[in-house]
Structure 1
């Protein structure tokens, strides 16, 4: 192919490209004119529609923000409740075992109140007393304390009144006698004391 032919082809292609660009420009101008003409006829309503749409989007955004804040508050509450539950579970972990041991502790106390004159029985009671003290010490380490009763004021949260008596030696509402020992596990009543109260 000669240089002249090549130049001719290049010129033709350049002309065709220029014509195509002109057509594209004309099409864009016509489209823009059409859009501007349409906006000119409905410009105000288009602006109002856009403002309405903006307001709608703002309200949706506010609603989403509020929902997010509520979810965050719910999650914080859930985390706090879970932490408190876990702390309570750890604090009172031995409650079931202690509650099951209390009747055995009562039996030990009753057995040690028996009067004996036999040396063998006395040594047996001494051994039982050692076992009893060991159990009581172990319970103290877990936070178990007996509830004070005799000569203390009756407290319905700590004591269960099973009898009343009129006794001049005691003031009104004062505990005269304890029938069954009550216990606290840290700050929780695991068994109320059964008592006789002065009227």
Structure 2
């Protein structure tokens, strides 16, 4: 009987201990669950913070790139306006300089005209006109104008404009320029005006 009671007491104590252990395990599991939930919340919050930071960084980079583009566009627009203005001014200045030099020739022509009204000495008048012509030619040469030598040269469509073709007086002049109707000119080594020429062809 005594042994039965001891056995029951032992079983009861064992059950109490098992119950306490089970309660402790449940508490530990609950604590673990809370910790896990808290960690998940922390991770989600950290991920959200990272996303916000990345979005802010990208927005900042986009703003900087946009500002840089606007600055470059404004600088290019200013450059375009400035170069356009400089080009117009250069053309106006170049024209002004040429006209200023030609005024001297115009003065010479006016003096020649007056002298021709009552001139008796024809050779001196011719000489005066020749001097004015040479002066004009010299001014234009200084500005880059150069006469095109055409007569006797091979016909070149890049330089010459054929007005007509006539039988060449000699076989050597076939395909060459026999006469020049209007002189051609270069300006700074570029064709300013094509020479209008007569080209020799084979006799029929």
TM-score (norm 1): 0.52
Q: Which runs of 5+ in 1 are unaligned?
A: 1-38, 102-118
Q: Measure the CA separation in 2 of the matches of 1:171 and 1:91.
A: 42
What corresponds to 2:30 in structure 1? none
* Correspondences of 1:167-182 after superposition (within 5 Å): 167=168, 168-172=171-175, 174-182=176-184
Q: SS of the counterpart of 1:130? A: helix
* Correspondences of 1:45-194 after superposition (within 5 Å): 45-72=48-75, 75=78, 94=98, 120-167=121-168, 168-172=171-175, 174-194=176-196
* 1:56 shift after superposition: 2.0
* Correspondences of 1:4-83 after superposition (within 5 Å): 42-72=45-75, 75=78
C-alpha distance after superposition, 1:22-52 (max 9, x if no partner): xxxxxxxxxxxxxxxxx95844323322221
Q: Measure the CA separation in 1 of the matches of 2:180 and 2:138.
A: 22
Taking only aligned residues, the RMSD between alpha carbons, in angstroms, comes to: 3.8
C-alpha distance after superposition, 1:137-188 (max 9, x if no partner): 232233222111112233334322211234223143x222111222223234
TM-score (norm 2): 0.51
Q: Measure the CA separation in 1 of the matches of 2:78 and 2:62.
A: 24
Tell which structure's C-alpha radius of gyration is larger: 2
Q: Measure the CA separation in 2 of the matches of 1:86 and 1:58.
A: 42
Q: Measure the CA separation in 1 of the matches of 2:65 and 2:95.
A: 45
Q: Measure the CA separation in 1 of the matches of 2:196 and 2:85.
A: 35
Q: Measure the CA separation in 2 of the matches of 1:51 and 1:90.
A: 58
Structure 1 residue runs of 4 or more that deviate by more than 6 Å after TM superposition = none
* 1:53 shift after superposition: 1.8
* 1:195 shift after superposition: 0.9
Assess if the C-alpha contact under 8 Å between 1:92 and 1:185 holds in 2: no
Q: Measure the CA separation in 2 of the matches of 1:85 and 1:130.
A: 34
Q: SS of the counterpart of 1:153? A: coil
